[in-house]
Structure formats: structure tokens, C-alpha cells
Structure 1
Amino acid sequence: LILNMSSWLVTKCPLSKHQARMVTKLRIYSTFILNGNCIIFSLFFLSYGKYLGVTTGSNAMLVAIADAIGPREQFEPVFQDGSTALLGVNNCFLSADPHSGDVLFTSQQAKSEEMVTVSIDVHNLYI
């Protein structure tokens, strides 16, 4: 599964041409884990060879620094009205700061700004 973060970031944040070129190269793969009644998944940032996770503290940024999956590297998809938002370990939803371009888990509600597109690359689908 590939999280299409590139188009989401381009629509949420004003980016320079260089930033837009870099963002379109993002390839993020995920693995799914069934946890009770919900699906938890982790994100692997192919460009850096690290797992994406939520930083501690008030800014709760999405960063690619983890070598292994822990609670901060697990995200829960929340489905609402045909859209999807990602819930982090801090019980906040993924969103982007349009001024800084930072990707954060700071919104306590899933509004239109927090909705993401998830697409499946069937050539790399392993079951």
C-alpha cells in the first residue's frame, strides 16, 4: 500500500518548485496489523530507509527517524463519509501547516484539511 502523501502535501501547503519536485518523489510503504477491531499500520519512508513516527512534545511532527516500529510509528486510519484521516499515538490527526510546510499530528478533529488519499499499487501488493 502506498500513502499518496505527495499530492496531499502539494494541495495543503504552498511549495516552491524544488520542494514540489522533492515531494513528488515520496514513496511511503505501509504494513497492516489487525489490533482488536481496528487496523493499525506503520509507514516506511523508502527514500530514507526509516519508519515514520510522531515526535514527542507539543509540535508532534511526522518524522522519519525510527529503525523499528513502536507505538509512535503506528497510525490508525479513520474513515468518515468516504474519506480517510490518520490518527496518531497522541490521539490527534495528521495535518499540514500551510505556512511552514510541516506535517503534524495536532488536530483533535478530522476536518477536510486532515483527509488523505490512500492508493494501492497492485504490482507491489503482498498478502
Structure 2
Amino acid sequence: MTEYQKVRVSKLILKNEKVKKKKKKDKSKKIDQKVNMEENQDKINHGNWAEAKLVSEISGPVALEFGCQTYVTAMDNGLFTLGPPHNEGDGPLPEEILTAISISETKIAFKSGYGKYLGVDKDGTIVGRSDAIGPLEQFEPIFEDNKLAILASTGCFIRIRDEDDSLVAMSRTAGTSEIVKVRLNAPESAEVEVDKLDEKKGNIKDIEKNYVKMFQKFQDKKMRMIEGKQSQLKKAQKEGKLHESLLDRRAKTKADRYCK
């Protein structure tokens, strides 16, 4: 090989010419965005009830979903069964909502709408008849590969029994039948948060600015405030009609994603 051949061939760079660096595409951001969109759509499909991803999230009103759009429902005799399928966009019914109580970092307890704690009977049937939390009323949610199974105090995982659709804990291994989703009552949307604005307190300019932030998309990183007299907003504030006045002004903003 000659010395000439050893010379590395590269693009000719002229004097004073800036070398452009190739931008590396951040694939992780796209993946995160896709996951967020899927989770948000899943929440909408279940009536604003999101799927729990961590044990620490399982607290307060919850619903146990086995299969698709079907939830565990409490009966007045203390037993539990699988409720009817729900339409897309519908959340669980009142009798399908339990209250989760955190006992430790790994264990929780469930209380039915009848005010009784869920526990395990001798034959493995899940019943809600206890007035207090004892060893039999403690459950351990176990996440693995983004899937959840709930271990009862007997060392068996809960599932829906095929014969009568009752809730039982009989299997010491977690298979397809033992996979469950704990649905959480997700926070209300920004539209509802607007109702919590205090119409009588605060600087009117700051109130309008915060209001616009809730709804406006900043495609060019610029906030578009409607030109107009703030005296009109102050008058509406005194009359208790601030929300209506802000909505009228917001409707004129082309960048607004909720108003045309």
C-alpha cells in the first residue's frame, strides 16, 4: 500500500466554512411520547381511570379489572363476582369501586363499598365481611414485566373462577388468569381545574395569564394574550362572571386547542 493510499478520504472543507454536526435523533423521547399517548388513550377508554404502575400508587378509590372493561363487583352477601362488560369510555360502577389502604411499602388492604375489608376464606374464596384489618386481609401487589398479580395472605394469587365468576385465591403461580389491572381514579382535567379558580382574589392580569397557560399550545413558544380592556374582566370578577368573560376572550385565540 502506498503512502498516498493511506491518506484518509474526507469531504473538502473550505476556509471559514463551518462544519455542521449531525444531530442524533433522540429515540427515547419518541418512545416516551408514544407510551404517554397510549396510556392517556387507555385512561380515556376507561372513563378517566388510569392503570396503576407502582405499588405506591394503589391507594384510595380503585377498581380491579380482569380481562377488558370488566371489573370485580361487590355483592350484599359479602362475596365478589365479575361484573358485566362496560362500553368504551365508561368507568366502573359504584359497586365495582373499592378503597385501597396502604399497610406497608409492599402490602395493602381493600375495603368494599359496604364498609367491610376483603379477606380470604378457608376454601380460598375472597370475602368482604371483616370490620378490621388482620393477617388474612392483607394483599401484596406484585409487578413483573409491566404486568400485575395480587398475592393473598394464603400465598395464592387472586383470579376469577371460571365456573361461577367468583373472586378466589387458589393458584400459587401467576398465569394469564391471575393478571389483573388496578384502575385508579385519575386526576381531573385542566378544564375542571379552571372551576377552582378564585374569582374574587388575586391580580386580574395574573389570573388571565394562568388561565391562558392551562389551555394554549405554544407552538412558537409565544403566549398570545387577547388585547382588550382589563376593566371588563375586573367588572366580571365583581359580578362573579369571570369564567364566562375569560372564556369569551379565550375563544378569540387562534392557538387555543379548545376554542376556535
- Per the shorter chain, which TM-score range? 0.7 to 0.9
Aligned length: 109
Distance of aligned partners of 1:96 and 1:121 in 2 relative to their CA distance in 1, 3 Å threshold: same
Q: Residue type matched to 2:150 in 1?
A: L
Find runs of 4+ consecutive structure 1 residues off by over 3 angstroms: 9-12
1:77 aligned to which of 141, 164, 172: 141
Q: Output the CA distance in 2 between the equivalents of 1:3 and 1:27.
A: 6
Whether contact under 8 Å (2:109, 2:139) holds in the other structure is yes
**How far apart are 1:102 and its partner, in Å?**
1.5
- Specify which of 115, 119, 124 is matched with residue 183 of structure 2: 119
- In 1, Cα distance between the equivalents of 2:138 and 2:172? 17
Contact 2:71 2:96 in 1 (8 A): no
Q: Which residue is equivalent to 2:121?
A: 55
Task: Report Cα offsets for 1:77-114 as digits up to 9, x if no partner.
Answer: 11111011110111000011112111110011011210
What's 1:4 paired with? 63
- The two structures, once aligned, show a CA RMSD in angstroms of 2.3
Structure 1 residue ranges without an equivalent (≥5): 13-18
After superposition, the C-alpha distances for 1:50-70 in whole angstroms (9 at most, x for unaligned) are: 0111112xx210111000000
Alignment match, 1:42: 109
Which structure has more strand as a fraction of its residues?
1
Q: Which has the larger radius of gyration?
A: 2
| % identical equivalent positions | 28
Q: How does 1:85-124 map to 2 (within 5 A)?
A: 85-122=149-186
Mapped partners of 1:108, 1:69: distance in 2 = 23
Which is helix-richer, 1 or 2?
2
Q: Secondary structure at the match of 1:72?
A: helix
**Residue 3 and residue 98 in structure 1: after superposition, are their counterparts in 2 closer, same or farther (change >3 A)?**
farther
| Unaligned segments of structure 2, at least 5 residues | 1-58, 73-82, 86-91, 188-260
